[in-house]
Amino acid sequence: MLGAGSLGGLWATRLFRAGVPLHLILRNPKRLAEYHAAGGLELLENGTSRLYPIPAELPEATTPIERLLVACKAYDAEAAVAEVAPRLTKHSEILLLQNGLGSQQAIAARWPESRCIFISSTEGAYREVGFRIVHAGLGHNWLGDPGNRQPPPWLAELNLADIPYRWAEDIMGKLWRKLAINCAINPLSVLNDCHNGELSNQPEPLHKLCCELSEVLRACDQMDAADGLEAEVLRIIEATAQNFSSMHQDVQNGRRTEVSFLLGQACRAARQHGLATPELCELLDRLQALLRRHGLPDD
Ligand code: NAD
Ligand code: KPL
């Protein structure tokens, strides 16, 4: 498990307690020492907290890796895999838990001998302090491989670990749909500094964004992902009315966002297909300007 943060920790603790053999790969000796001092990863779930002493190591350990679960942010994922790439076995698998699109394709292209499985997750987790992770929201995980519709034989291990999942023959559709939903909601929530629910007062900008996003999805051959996009965006705004979007939380906490893999990716796809998407472009410009004002990277 590379990237033992919020979502990675949620996966690692559930796999470990189900008896699935697993090692955490931590960034550097300081982080490894802190982890050993903490005694493991702590998961707070349904009001109960438990410590899981999952073995941990550094990227430069020498044991071969057959299956690598990557749970870093999209902007860190490729560099993180590069650090452990010499350890990957010939027919290894790389499971990619990143939101948005772009990082998965870069990794799949750079390590073609590994089977890359893309995961789209709607589960929610955050890190309180140190190695204490809170399972904050129920959700689902879609796993799929755009190059091979056959599920891998080990999927049932996820049942043992109580990880809610389905194999998605159309994983690109799932990832594009989530990307489009995030593009419609998250930047507006940042620019208006508001809960998701307050966006229901802005039907006109949401409508224009959803029209352009649907056009981009169709140009990318993602017809199913385009279908009913606006209705689902409005439904999610209602369902998450009291929440701040993940991008809003990132900006609020001074953390880098994954904008380049979300709205940036939608704008790049529009350009590649020769589509004019003035609303998306303007939204990206305004968002990037705000990020710079906050002293955050704009990519
Ligand atoms: P996070 O910041 O909590 O965790 C990422 C971890 O990766 C950090 O602990 C960081 O130190 C580690 N890392 C980065 N580079 C590394 C390297 N080279 N070697 C080892 N470790 C390295 O992030 P997160 O919230 O868990 O998000 C991970 C991905 O999952 C993102 O793409 C996010 O959008 C997606 N996601 C998160 C949630 C959630 O609820 N947290 C839900 C759905 C999707
Ligand atoms: O996924 C989300 C996020 O905040 O990242 C939702 C709640 C669906 C809003 O886009």
Q: What is the set of domains in the chain, with CATH numbers?
A: 6-169 (3.40.50.720), 173-293 (1.10.1040.10)
How many whole angstroms separate alpha carbon 161 and alpha carbon 141?
Answer: 13
Q: What type of residue sits at position 147?
A: G
pLDDT for res 9: 98
Tell the residue nearest (CA) to atom 4 of ligand 2.
245
Helices vs strands, H then E, count in the chain? 12, 11
Residue 16 backbone dihedrals phi, psi, to 5 degrees: -60, -45
71 CA from centroid of ligand 1 (Å)? 5
Q: In angstroms, what is the C-alpha Rg of the chain? A: 19
- Nearest CA, atom 6, ligand 2: 245
Q: Could you tell me if 155 and 143 are in contact, meaning their C-beta atoms sit under 8 angstroms apart?
A: yes
What's the 163 CA to ligand 1 centre distance in angstroms? 18
Q: Are 13 and 45 in contact (CB under 8 A)?
A: no
By residue count, the chain amounts to 299
Using a 6 Å CB cutoff, which residues line ligand 2?
181-182, 185-186, 236, 240, 243, 245-246
Task: Report residue 101's pLDDT band, with 50, 70 and 90 as the boundaries.
Answer: very high
pLDDT tens digits for range 30-66: 999 999 999 999 999 999 999 999 999 999 999 999 9
Q: What is the pLDDT of residue 187?
A: 98
pLDDT at residue number 37: 97
> Which amino acid residue places its CA nearest to atom 20 of ligand 1?
27
DSSP secondary structure code for residue 260 in this structure: G
Is residue 178 among the annotated active site residues?
yes
Q: Considering 30, 90, 178, 208, which one is annotated as catalytic? A: 178
Tokens of 17: 């307690």
Average pLDDT over the chain, rounded to an integer: 97
The residue written with tokens 């707070």 in the block is: 44
pLDDT digits (tens, 9 = 90+) for 239-297: 999 999 999 999 999 999 999 999 999 999 999 999 999 999 999 999 999 999 999 99
Give the containing element (helix H, strand E) for 116. Answer: strand 115-121
Nearest CA to ligand 1 atom 30: 98
Per-residue pLDDT, 252 = 97
205 Cβ inside 6 Å of ligand 1? no
